[in-house]
Amino acid sequence: MNSLEKAFKFAGRYYLLALPLVALYAIPALVGSSGPTASLKYILDSFPLFGNYDYLSDPAVIIGTISSFFVSAMGATILSFILGFIAYPSTYGMINKTLQTGTGDLNDFLPALKQNFVKYLLYWVGGLAVSAVLGIIAIVVFIILGLLTAVLKWFGIMLIVLAFIVFFAVGVVAYVLLSLWFSVMVVDDMDLMQAFKRSIQIAWANFGSLLGIILLVIIVTAIAGGIIGLIVGWIPVLGPVISSLVSAASTFILTIFYIMFYRDKTGREVLI
């Protein structure tokens, strides 16, 4: 909990370092909620209130609106993907540099991005590979259980439910064990596999602490996001953008926490 308190203190002092993450969440939210998306939401929300719309009598209008919606949503997804390769390496780098030297600002953005871009690319590929392996194993297991269900009946269904629970637990454990992966690459300048092993080693030794903090941040984020969504979510365009700031803030806090936690567990000084 001490590391989380320090993370909040750091975030309050160096809040400008969160701007790349704010852009990562706010810009796609703006793109995805504007224009056709807002129009489609308005039409769908209005169905229960009005029995007939003249403009809905033309199928071309409906098809055009829905097509625009998917184009807008796809654009937001692609934009989020691209911005992630800018926001994450730069933010991790700026935070680590600030913790090392005791000073930091947005002037460190480009140096941090240049220093950590390739690392993040490798980390992303590594994460994709881990997800693919776990996904393939899950698919094979559920196919086998699906075939067995035809023979085992209700017992087979119980096995499928149990398998869902087991794979969910495995996913949670994997997430916690690998939560420090990119932090290790940034702080210690390790290669992908060395950082992978170090993350598992440190996280396993502190599994309870990491799991508790991660769950706490997720729960608080969900509650805060829900409340803010109820207050401003109905506002076209602006509502989703404001709501996205909650996710940006929680990501910023967790990023600070991961780096601080790893530096602390490896005996490095944390200057704030």
b/e string for 151-163 if b means 16 or more Cβ within 10 A? eeeeebeebbeee
Residue 250, pLDDT > 80, answer yes
Give the angle subtended at the CA of 232 by the CAs of 69 and 52, to the nearest 5°. Answer: 50
Euclidean distance between CA atoms 255 and 259, whole angstroms: 6
Each domain of the chain, given as residue ranges in start order, spans 2-265
Give the 3-state secondary structure of residue 4. helix
More confident: 156 or 67:
156
CA-CA-CA-CA dihedral for 108, 112, 115, 117, to nearest 10: -150
Range 88-104 average pLDDT: 95
DSSP structure class, residue 266 = T
For the cut 80, the answer to whether the pLDDT of residue 244 exceeds it is yes
- The 10s digit of each residue's pLDDT in 187-199 is 999 999 999 999 9
Number of other CB atoms surrounding residue 144 within 10 Å? 12
pTM for the structure as a whole: 0.86
Residue 272, pLDDT score:
67
- Confidence check: pLDDT of 154 > 50: yes
What pLDDT score does 50 carry?
Answer: 47
Does the pLDDT of residue 52 top 90, yes or no? no
Name the nearest CA neighbour of 212 among 179, 256, 170.
179
Q: Tens of pLDDT along 115-145? A: 999 999 999 999 999 999 999 999 999 999 8
Q: How many H-runs (helices) and E-runs (strands) does the chain carry?
A: 10, 0
**Structural Rg of the chain based on CA atoms:** 22
Give the percent of the chain with pLDDT over 90. 64
The pLDDT, as a whole number, for residue 68 is: 63
Q: Tell me the per-residue pLDDT of 13-45, one tens digit each, with 9 for 90 and over.
A: 999 999 999 999 999 988 876 655 555 555 555
The full DSSP string for 144-185 is HHHHHHHHHTHHHHHHHHHHHHHHHHHHHHHHHHTTTHHHHH
Residues shown for the chain: 272
Q: What is the pLDDT of residue 39?
A: 53
Q: How confident is the model at residue 156 (pLDDT cuts 50, 70, 90)?
A: confident
pLDDT at 64: 60
What is the pLDDT, as a whole number, of residue 69? Answer: 66
